[in-house]
């Protein structure tokens, strides 16, 4: 499915179902817009169902709202060669960048666990790279537990562009 993204446009043009739509990088389908953060958590929960996790059985979904208001989603995709898998957060970021956007304001991550699961170290760095100033992260469980913090608090002392001379 090269060139196809899961996205919900900020304008909220009509669409059926979950409000998520397939769109090509040049096409434009949209879905309904709801209020954050529940919208992002719902979108993350929806895409989590598509996760490919035959080895761990641990499915994760992520949804982020770009600075322009569009929503992009991703789910974890495992591989028998474990290091070759993709995290949900990285998938959502890749969809956003493929659509030509590079900043997000909010991100939600959901997993089936007793407590909200924070992103792994690599995803924390990836999130920091694309986070708008003041960006928030909402971590949730399928059972309804939630935790919220800033992306800055998630990765204090992050490596950034300012470190490169």
Catalytic residues: 89
Specify whether the CB–CB gap between 63 and 73 falls below 8 A: yes
For residue 35, which of 138, 141, 147, 153 has the smallest C-alpha distance?
A: 138
Distances (CA, A) of 61 to 47, 53, 134, 162: 6, 11, 22, 31
For residue 10, which of 26, 28, 32, 25 has the smallest C-alpha distance?
A: 32
Euclidean distance between CA atoms 138 and 63, whole angstroms: 10
């Amino acid at each position: 499915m090269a060139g196809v993204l899961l996205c919900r446009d900020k304008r909220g043009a009509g669409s059926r179902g979950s409000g998520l739509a397939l769109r090509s990088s040049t096409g434009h389908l949209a879905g309904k817009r709801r209020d954050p953060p529940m919208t992002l958590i719902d979108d993350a929960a929806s895409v989590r169902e598509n996760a490919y996790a035959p080895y761990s059985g641990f499915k994760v979904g992520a949804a982020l709202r770009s600075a322009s208001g569009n929503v992009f989603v991703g789910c974890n995709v495992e591989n028998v060669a474990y290091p070759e898998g993709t995290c949900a957060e990285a998938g959502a970021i890749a969809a956003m960048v493929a659509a030509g956007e590079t900043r997000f304001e909010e991100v939600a991550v959901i997993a089936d666990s007793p407590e909200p699961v924070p992103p792994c170290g690599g995803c924390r760095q990836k999130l920091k790279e694309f986070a708008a100033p003041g960006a928030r992260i909402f971590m949730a469980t399928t059972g309804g537990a939630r935790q919220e913090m800033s992306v800055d608090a998630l990765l204090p002392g992050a490596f950034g562009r300012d470190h490169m001379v």
